[in-house]
Amino acid sequence: MDKFLIKGGKILKGQVAISGAKNSALPIMAASLLTAEPLHVHNIPKVRDLVTMSKLLTFMHVHVSVKEFPSSDYILQATKLNDEVAPYELVKTMRASILTLGPLIARVGVARVSLPGGCAIGARPVDLHLTALEKMGAEVETKAGYIEAKVPNHGRLKGAHIVFDKITVTGTENILMAAALADGESILENAAREPEVTDLVIMLRKMGAQITGDGTSVLKIKGVKELHGTDHTVIPDRIETGTFLVAGAITGGDLTITNCAPDHQGAIIAKLNEAGVPVEVVNDTTLHVSGAKKLIASDMTTEEYPGFATDMQAQYMALATQAQGSSIITETIFENRFLHASEMLRMGANIAIDNRRAVVRGPAKLTGTTVQASDLRASAGLVLAALVAQGETIIDRVYHIDRGYELIVEKLQDVGADIERFHDPSSSAA
Ligand code: UD1
């Protein structure tokens, strides 16, 4: 199993380029199921979740062409589909497999998708996806770990008025894709406003879908009979951008972050500014971050976009361990997303957890030790903590970070971090 060895204390300086957004690329690739024509997609991050999505689509008989593997440019063509159930082995590592459900049932009237496996950060049900599909006329059954959905009499889904009980990102994306090929109009209220949802809407529109309201919480979709192929470039990854902003800030460094979308970083920039970290918007694709004169504690609550992303909570917690004073971090999106805190405690952080609140008292002198990554973003938080810890930190189970960060080791090395990946044959993958 691969591990990272990080020697803390280096000040990060230089330039780093951001990859495409994993959470945009996933629904965009799944949208290839909606048409028989080819979809050309660019700026796909070379990370494991996209490799898994591409294997899943291949299983469903989507023809996936790439020059190299993994690649950032894909041509996906779903001329004819296979409605066999995707093997659980394939979908268990990636909850986003559920994104194939909406497009499959919209295009062929039947879908069988394995229920996403358990997840360290909470129960993460998919009930909202399923009730919305039922409102659109699908018959949905879950049995023996599988979701079986079909439209009676091999018909088409019908447009519906759906009010989501909770804001759900992949739920909104799934139903958007289903509604794009349904009979009649759909209205989605309390829809997610994440930039990744908007990116999907923009691409669906290029495929011929009739959608209005992107960027707001009410999406209106007039279903069309057929969608066609198109060419699309995925937006930059705002979580990778935020992670490098914190990397610059926590090491007191000087980083220029290119190929990013500063417009999507509002909540993170505002929070870093509050903590005393200067962030400059250089132009519409470039940010610059430097170290704070004094890092000040600042409370943070995770929220749906445009609020502070739950996917940046672990990274912010690492920063809070170095700030002067107490920061109260409240996690409102997932019920069990402080697993990184216990590892940071082992490194010497002062963190008290009470249900969904963490009180972080700083600044703490962190010391390197062996820590375990528990999920994708928790691993990023541990890497950031290790960058300022005294001595050596070994991060175990980095397969979590490989799900979503392209070339994280190389990108950090390029700006001066002392980090390396090594293979430990004595430990096997969990
Ligand atoms: C997406 C992102 C993930 C991010 C999360 C929240 C992708 C591939 N993943 O995950 O990185 O952390 O948004 O910003 O885009 N819920 C239900 N029932 C449902 C669906 C969701 O109760 O049917 C709950 C969840 O348990 C959670 C909340 O709603 O508490 C938000 O989840 P959701 O937005 O659906 O997260 P994902 O789309 O899975």
Number of residues written out for the chain? 430
| pLDDT value of position 398 | 94
**Percent residues over pLDDT 70 in the chain:** 97
Inter-axis angle of helices 339-346 and 313-320, nearest 10: 30
Nearest residue by C-alpha to atom 34 in ligand 1: 168
Give the Å distance between the CA of 365 and the centre of ligand 1: 34
Please state the pTM of the whole predicted model.
Answer: 0.97
Integer CA distances (angstroms), 2 to 79, 110, 223, 396, 416, in order:
38, 39, 46, 7, 21
Is the bond preceding 262 in cis, omega lying within 30 degrees of 0?
Answer: no
Closest ligand 1 atom to Cα of 126: 23
For a mutational test of ligand 1's pocket, the pick from 50, 101, 121, 124, i.e. the residue with the most ligand atoms closer than 8 A to its C-beta, is 124
Nearest residue by C-alpha to atom 4 in ligand 1: 311
Using one digit for the tens of pLDDT, what is the confidence trace for 9-59? 999 999 999 999 999 999 999 999 999 999 999 999 999 999 999 999 999
Q: 141, exposed or middle or buried, with CB in 10 Å at 0-12, 13-18, 19+?
A: exposed
Residue 119 annotated as catalytic: yes
Using one digit for the tens of pLDDT, what is the confidence trace for 294-315? 999 999 999 999 999 999 999 9
Using one digit for the tens of pLDDT, what is the confidence trace for 314-346? 999 999 999 999 999 999 999 889 999 999 999
Q: What angle do CA 227, 229, 235 make, to 5 degrees?
A: 105
Nearest residue by C-alpha to atom 11 in ligand 1: 311
**Which residues approach ligand 1 with their CB closer than 6 A?**
23, 26, 95-96, 122, 124-129, 166, 168-171, 196, 310-311, 333-334
Longest dimension (CA), the chain: 67
**Percent residues over pLDDT 90 in the chain:** 87
Q: How confident is the model at residue 430 (pLDDT cuts 50, 70, 90)?
A: very low
Amino acid identity of residue 306, one-letter, is P
